[in-house]
Amino acid sequence: MYKIVKKRVLNEAICLMDVEAKRCAAHCKPGQFVIVRTDEGAERIPLTICDYDAEKGIVTIVFQVVGAGTLRMFRMEEGEYLHDFTGPLGKPSELTDESTESLKSKKILFVAGGLGTAPVYPQVKYLHELGVDADVIVGAKTKDILIMEDEMKAVAGNLYITTDDGSYGRSGMVTKVISDLYDEGKKYDLCVAIGPMIMMKFVCKLTKELGLPTIVSMNPIMVDGTGMCGACRLIVGDEVKFACVDGPEFDGFLVDFDQAMKRQNLYKTEEGRKYLLEQEKETHHGGCGQCD
Amino acid sequence: MTTDVNTRVPVREQDAEVRAHNFEEVCYGYNEEEAVCESTRCLTCKNAQCVKGCPVAIDIPAFIEQVKNENFEEAYQIISRSSSLPAVCGRVCPQETQCEGKCIRGIKGDPVSIGKLERFVADWAREHGIRPEGPSGKNGKKVAVIGSGPAGLTCAGDLARLGYDVTIFEALHEPGGVLVYGIPEFRLPKEDVVLKEIDNVKGLGVKIETNVVIGKTVSIDELIDDEGFDAVFIGSGAGLPKFMNIPGEQAGGVFSANEYLTRSNLMKAFKEESDTPIYRGRKVAVVGGGNVAMDAARTALRLGAEVHIVYRRSEEELPARVEEVHHAKEEGIIFDLLTNPVEILADESGWVSGMKCIRMELGEPDASGRRRPVEIPGSEFTMEVDAVIMSLGTSPNPLISSTTEGLEVNKWKCIVADEENGATSKEGVYAGGDAVTGAATVILAMGAGKAAAKGIDEYLRAK
Ligand SMILES: Cc1cc2nc3c(=O)[nH]c(=O)nc-3n(C[C@H](O)[C@H](O)[C@H](O)COP(=O)(O)OP(=O)(O)OC[C@H]3O[C@@H](n4cnc5c(N)ncnc54)[C@H](O)[C@@H]3O)c2cc1C
Ligand SMILES: Cc1cc2nc3c(=O)[nH]c(=O)nc-3n(C[C@H](O)[C@H](O)[C@H](O)COP(=O)(O)OP(=O)(O)OC[C@H]3O[C@@H](n4cnc5c(N)ncnc54)[C@H](O)[C@@H]3O)c2cc1C
Ligand code: SF4
Ligand code: SF4
Ligand code: FES
């Protein structure tokens, strides 16, 4: 059992939790994820590690309510216990393998879409602690669903915020900001893009034209997260990869996004059905982008 | 009850037509009267051949003797000395090629139903609250066991009996390995059988820590250096599924048997109240012919589909247990033999709509001694299906081998370990079960766990 030591509701559908998980906290690195089960009989929910404190034995997760499992977790309070919390899973970000000198010699750009801000944060923080200041673009549909702005500000070099509807920061999609920065004469050596698949796809399309190598973090449907079921398989450079053990981060230029999006959406009907059934009488929160 | 000495006492089963629609156990097993009657067929051989066929060498004539005497508790204690999971093995061992395959009664007639008798004794003991005998004392040494499948549970149980302080680390949220996530409820009830046998192992003092992925959550070196474990046993199984690498395999509705079975068994998707969904197809093709394929097929059938087993060789070569093939046929699974998929077709939304197959014929024997299937040119045809389950075998997961320095693996990524005592290339680290052999059987995994427990005991005594 894993205690929820802090809960912070970031907006109507997104929530941050600090969870006591000593073994995981002692070993995790940016880029990895955990699998959570709220209670006996519940689904296994993969969530990216958003922060961690090895000394206190605490791992931070940020999640969005999109279905039955995440809704149940949203309703849990500080002091309550998650039934299962497995991790860290997946490979750490490649940045964690590089020497500080090599990192310092690079200009790195992070691109976070919506909830992707949360998984981008530990990577930017990791670099910041090594004395490397990376630029960060954060995009959200609208001002109200922007998360973790202050935290990000504290660790990022230049922080560029943009909203699709122009309600805050710059206006337009993250891809527009990348183009604008390049037009302003900026240049980067590496881009890390994390967000909805559709965003990552278009970021890669652009960065390929710009000759800017790009890493993406994939979040396909998973069951076990240990390489046992193959549900998370993706095509990366004509090879089949399991996101939970070979990833979740991959070279964005090699990922077959169209195939990946198709696979993710296919389960929507099947998995989403349960949720909609449960939700019929309640007010639908909207804004998560998961339901059509 | 009287029988001809050459014929075994028949076992009662759930009617095929009824069980095709539920997840309750297919085979009811013997009652007391039937068990005693069957036991009288055993000749209590001095140099019993059956024991040589059992990978954990259960003293079969001795326990059957006690069944004859109606002293079931003693029968249970005899079995328990060699096996920690008798209720499981009695149900899933391929007895026809093991203990029963060697039984002297088999020369003239039916071999003694050793498996069914073992199951009866184990079930009787459970129903009467009898537990295996515990350890006599503690020796203060700590052993870590990785994986809670049959190999890990057996190794842990044996070491605990010898007085070791044993902790099992399991990656999933529930212990049991393939016994809980792979083999379906209708063949191996989880609550009543598997969990109870795991409880027995816990009763010996074994601790089980779930949600720990060795190699990720903590490494083997850390267990030894930082957590004070004196030895480690790796029983992490062979869980990595294979795919065919044919076009269309990424389509929606294409699952590995592991995914399908895990959703159904571990996540209980077959129950209405489960959160984890499973796709209940209308017409499902299961590709492959082993035990796993039969389990996936019979699960899909119970979830309401018309199910076809697609296998590239003929019936004779089916690697599944005879009993499973027989049950599958009785339940209405259709066997499309000498047939091989070449492409999976999808509709415009990306969901499976069909599978293009080619007919095969048997040619010359290959390296395995089985006749090699060869394609018949021009025989392609399309099966209309809305789900495909790939059951082509599994290989060991590289998670542990890739994170443990000095641990030798072979070209199939199987851990190299001594057959006699489980020792690996790394001092103090032992291994056994599917992680070493590749996908095999429950009882072989148990045999390996047992051998390693002995090896670890010898190593730590000498240290
Ligand atoms: C490696 C990885 C990291 C992730 N990190 C985060 C994170 O940090 N924060 C966060 O909020 N979410 C994250 N996700 C997505 C998250 O796991 C899903 O939103 C969650 O499993 C949905 O569970 P549910 O029971 O609430 O919804 P369900 O009832 O299972 O499904 C409801 C809807 O969610 C969609 N969905 C289901 N599973 C996934 C999935 N794995 N990815 C995307 N959509 C899914 C379905 O298509 C469906 O429409 C991550 C996923 C992966 C694989
Ligand atoms: C569907 C199916 C049906 C079968 N039917 C039969 C049958 O009828 N008869 C028969 O004899 N055999 C059958 N088998 C084969 C048999 O189940 C296996 O050979 C046996 O379970 C192997 O035991 P094991 O202990 O080596 O591994 P497993 O049972 O695979 O257990 C390994 C355990 O280790 C855990 N693990 C893996 N990696 C790690 C890690 N890094 N850290 C921590 N834990 C880890 C896994 O989660 C798992 O729980 C079947 C197999 C399947 C899949
Ligand atoms: S464990 Fe398996 S092989 Fe051994 S006696 Fe029992 S059924 Fe036979
Ligand atoms: S070989 Fe057959 S008859 Fe002989 S002891 Fe074993 S089970 Fe009994
Ligand atoms: S989630 Fe099962 S293999 Fe990746």
Nearest Cα of chain A lies from the Cα of B349 at a distance, in angstroms, of 8
Per the rule left: phi > 0, alpha: psi between -120 and 50, beta: everything else, B211 is left
- The secondary structure of B75-93 as a DSSP string is HHHHHHHH-S-HHHHHHHS
* pLDDT at residue number A285: 34
A→B contacts (Cβ < 8 Å), by residue, are 23-24, 26-27, 37, 41-44, 68-69, 83-89, 223-224, 226-231, 233, 235, 240, 245, 259, 262-263, 265-267, 270-271, 273-274
Residue B380, number of CB atoms within 10 A of its CB: 13
pLDDT given at position A290: 38
Check if the beta carbon of residue A202 is closer than 8 Å to that of residue A187. Answer: no
pTM across the whole model: 0.90
| Coil/strand/helix, residue B430 | strand
Residues of chain B whose C-beta is under 8 A from some C-beta in A? 171-173, 181, 210-213, 216-218, 239-241, 243, 245, 249-250, 252-253, 255-256, 258-259, 262-263, 267-268, 273-277, 279, 349-351, 397-399
| Contact: B216, A87; criterion CB under 8 Å | yes
- Please identify, by atom number, the ligand 1 atom nearest to the C-alpha of residue A267: 47
ipTM of the complex: 0.87
3-state class (DSSP) for residue B317:
helix
The reply to whether residue A227 touches residue B277, judged by beta carbons under 8 angstroms, is: no
Q: What is the largest CA-CA distance in chain B?
A: 70
What is the separation of C-alpha A203 from the centre of its chain, rounded to a whole number of angstroms? 15
Among A84, A87, A230, beta carbon nearest to B217: A87
Asked if the Cβ–Cβ distance from A229 to B268 is below 8 Å, we say no
- pLDDT score recorded for residue A98: 86
**Atom 27 of ligand 2, residue of closest alpha carbon:** B237
CA-CA distance, B205 to B145, in Å (whole number)? 13
Query: What pLDDT is stored for residue B68 in this prediction?
Result: 95
Interface test with A, best of B170, B195, B213, B287 (most A CBs within 10 A): B213
Using CA atoms, how far residue B45 sits from A120, B37, B41, B107, in Å, is 70, 18, 11, 14
**pLDDT at residue number A21:** 94
Q: What percent of chain B has pLDDT over 70?
A: 99
Provide residues with CB under 6 Å of ligand 5: A 222-225, 227-232, 242, 244
Beta bridge partners of A214: A191
Q: What is the pLDDT of residues B229-257, one digit of tens each?
A: 999 999 999 989 999 989 999 888 899 99
A85:B240 CB<8 A: no
Cis ω for the linkage preceding A46 (within 30 of 0): no
The reported pLDDT for the residue numbered B370 is 79
Per-residue model confidence as pLDDT tens digits over A172-194: 788 888 888 888 888 899 999 99
Ranges of chain B with pLDDT below 50 = none
DSSP B203: H
pLDDT in tens, A202-241: 999 999 999 999 999 998 989 999 999 999 999 999 889 9
Q: Could you say which residues of chain A have pLDDT below 50?
A: 270-292
> Measured between alpha carbons, how far is B74 from B71 in angstroms, rounded to an integer?
6
Of B217, B245, B275, the CB nearest to A42: B275
Query: CA nearest B263 in A: which residue?
Result: A223
| pLDDT score, position A276 | 41
Q: Which of B40, B98, B104 to mutate to test the pocket of ligand 4 (most atoms within 8 A of CB)?
A: B104
Ligand 2 pocket, residues with Cβ under 6 angstroms: B 92-94, 146-152, 169-172, 177-178, 182-183, 212-215, 235-237, 239, 261, 291-292, 295, 321, 397, 399-400, 433-435, 439-443, 445
| Burial letters B415-450, b for 16+ CB under 10 A, else e | bebbeebbbbebebbbbbbbbbbebbbbbbbbbbbb
Which residue CA neighbors atom 4 of ligand 3 most closely?
B54
Decide whether any atom of ligand 1 lies within 6 Å of the A288 Cβ: no
Query: Which two tokens mark B418?
Result: 């001594």
pLDDT of residue B143: 96
Sort strands A108-113 and A84-89 into parallel, antiparallel or unpaired: unpaired
Q: Within a 10 A sphere around the Cβ of B20, how many other Cβ atoms?
A: 18
Per-residue confidence (pLDDT) for residue B265, from 0 to 100:
87
